[in-house]
Structure 1
Amino acid sequence: MRAVVIQEFGAPEGMAVVELPDPSPGRGEVLVEVEATGVAGADVFIRKGAPGFAKGHIPGGEIAGTVTAAGPGADPSWVGRRVWAFTGVGGGYVERAVVPVTALHALPGDLSAVDAVALGNAGVVAHFGLRHARFEPGESVLVRGAAGSLGIMTVQLAAQAGASAVAVTTSSRERGERLRRLGATHVLDRSGEGDGPAGFDVIIDVAAGPGLPAFFARLNPNGRMVAVGAVAGMPPADFGMEMFAAFQRSLSFATFSANTVPEADRLRLTGEQFAAASRGELIPVVHERLPLEEAVRAHRAMDAGEVFGRIVLTPAKS
């Protein structure tokens, strides 16, 4: 089978398509013929050289496709079913993937594989990220870096949960108008300037990077900022000094990863969100579909900040 591997960390050109042996499912696992793979900010972060990964790593945290074989101890009724699967920190940029049955969720009949990976893990992180921030209906929310799939899902969920205001930072008027149609009430530029509330009860930060500390000033007293991504890189080492400078406003900062959510809870929520998407209550946004061999092009677009929603790789059948 074909797979995309990271041969050199850094630029997108360090990735390459290689031929690997077809995998076989082990105990409690199934083999999935992959129809769609989501390209996520975490993939970019790893490709640029995040610690803990070795050359030869296959990016991709979620896939959707059809189960073609079941290993020992796996329910054979999975064979032939359309599924979404969370592959963790990698393993998704492939034509065929082996995943444990505990990471599978059956797809509703009217939800495409492409839409499933545009919604899947992004919806999970958005939901539990808001919960981690202790968001309550009637509070105001700012989504920093809202144009990706994670930001888009956070906007929709915050609006549906009764936020008094849902502001976004983004790079253009056109993107801002698209985010308004998805639930945003105010559009700010990347620095946080624009027509919106002076302060927010909750900031969900997808971007991080050097600009993170300045947004502590946009938190209301008792405000909470939760970093759910780092698409702009790591913040400065001393970023917490801005929060300490506002000590009397009792601000809070936290990070959030879906890895801390029990797998059963993630899958339960995924099922609820897939059903909501089938009813038209959640909107997966797909920026572009690309064949597997164009993963480098996908990562170039991510690096350039050109993506609104999610790029989806669609491995061709062989």
Structure 2
Amino acid sequence: MKAVVIRAFGDPDGLEAVEVPAPVPAAGQVRITTEAIGVGGVDAVIRRGSLAAYGFREGHLLGSEVAGRVDAVGEGVDASWIGRRVWAFTGLSGGYAEQAVAAVEDVLALPAGLTGAEAVTLGGSGVVAHFALERARLTPGETVLVRGAAGSIGITAVQLAAGRGAHAVAVTTSSAERGARLRDLGATHVLDRTGEGGPDTPAGFDVVIDVVAGPRLPLFLDRLNPNGRFVAVGVVGGQPPADFGVRLMDAFRKSLSFATFSSDAVPGPDRRAVRSSQFAAAAQGELRTVVHEVLPLDQAALAHRRMDAGQVFGRVVLAP
């Protein structure tokens, strides 16, 4: 089968389409013939070599989530899965391929009316957005800033925060055009990447959901109101300064909170329940997904170049 691997860490040109043996589902797994493959920020972080200390090596087959049809099951898996259209989390590997395997507990049947591209745009990111807002203890009437809102996590977080009754939902993004699109999704204020906005922009925020991290993270810690909560859900902009915690200590009397969040820390049944609910809402038009474009699998390097250049609004999807 065709797959995309990291030939060399670094820029997107290090990605290469190759022929590899089709995977065989082990006990407790299903195999999926893919129709849509999500391209996420974590894929870019792995591709750059930033997670080599965690065991990722050159030759790694990228990809975390796919949608398609189950074509085989491993030992102990109900054969009725065969032929069903599903979304699946494949871990942090194996998704950029014509076929992929996943543990059956990480597989969810797709509702009618939801495309594969929509499923991989929402499946992983929607859960992160939901539980990040839970971690932040957002309550109606509070102000929220979503930093890096043009990606699939941010787009979902904006909609969910507005739906939870936030008084204001501010976003950072790179252009007026993107800001207008985010307003259409529920944002009330648009800031640039440095945090500058119009005269009506709230001076502070009760909650910050940050997909970016990077060197500017401390500037956004400074924007927290007393008792404010900052939740970092990604590092697409790189690691923050090593001494960023000094900002928290300098603001000791404001009683600020900083947390990181990964959906890996959420029990599987809870992730599954939220994902199922979100898929149903998306199929009914109650939760919007934004697919930037669908590219052929062998153009994964182009997808990554566009993501690195900040040209993607929503999610790029690969299709075999």
Q: TM-score w.r.t. structure 1 length?
A: 0.98
Task: Verify: 1:246 aligned to 2:251, yes or no.
Answer: yes
Q: Residue type of the partner of 2:234?
A: G
Q: Could you tell which deviates more after superposition, 304-313 or 24-33?
A: 24-33
Q: Could you tell which deviates more after superposition, 88-97 or 285-294?
A: 88-97
Q: Residue type of the partner of 2:240?
A: P
The answer on whether the counterparts of 2:90 and 2:103 sit within 8 Å (CA) in structure 1 is no
Q: Which residue of 2 aligns with 1:117?
A: 120
SS at match of 1:119: helix
Partners of 1:70 and 1:243 in 2: CA distance: 50
Task: Verify: 1:279 aligned to 2:284, yes or no.
Answer: yes
SS at match of 2:137: coil
SS at match of 2:3: strand
Q: Which residue of 2 aligns with 1:256?
A: 261
Superposition deviation, residue 73 in structure 1? 0.9
Q: Which residue of 1 aligns with 2:224?
A: 219
Partners of 1:282 and 1:272 in 2: CA distance: 10
Residue 92 of structure 1, aligned match among 92, 95, 103: 95
Cα deviation per residue 1:234-257 (whole Å; 9 max; x = unaligned)? 101111111211111111111000
Superposition deviation, residue 22 in structure 1? 1.1
The answer on whether the counterparts of 2:30 and 2:70 sit within 8 Å (CA) in structure 1 is yes
Partners of 2:157 and 2:71 in 1: CA distance: 34
SS at match of 1:273: helix
Q: Which residue of 2 aligns with 1:33?
A: 33
SS at match of 1:192: coil
Q: Residue type of the partner of 1:253?
A: F
Residue-pair matches, total: 315
Task: Verify: 1:233 aligned to 2:238, yes or no.
Answer: yes
Partners of 1:243 and 1:90 in 2: CA distance: 36
SS at match of 1:83: strand
Q: Which residue of 1 aligns with 2:63?
A: 60
Q: Which residue of 1 aligns with 2:3?
A: 3
Partners of 2:216 and 2:291 in 1: CA distance: 27
Q: Residue type of the partner of 2:297?
A: L
Superposition deviation, residue 136 in structure 1? 1.4
Cα deviation per residue 1:288-313 (whole Å; 9 max; x = unaligned)? 10000000000001110111000000
SS at match of 2:117: helix
Superposition deviation, residue 28 in structure 1? 1.5
Partners of 1:64 and 1:243 in 2: CA distance: 41
Q: TM-score w.r.t. structure 2 length?
A: 0.97
Superposition deviation, residue 107 in structure 1? 0.1
Structure 1 gap segments, 5+ residues each: none
Q: Residue type of the partner of 1:308?
A: F
Q: Residue type of the partner of 1:314?
A: A
Residue 79 of structure 1, aligned match among 73, 79, 82: 82
SS at match of 1:294: helix
The runs of at least 4 consecutive aligned structure 1 residues that moved more than 3 Å come to none
Q: Which residue of 1 aligns with 2:178?
A: 175
Structure 2 gap segments, 5+ residues each: none
Considering only aligned residues, what root-mean-square deviation do their CA atoms show, in Å?
0.8
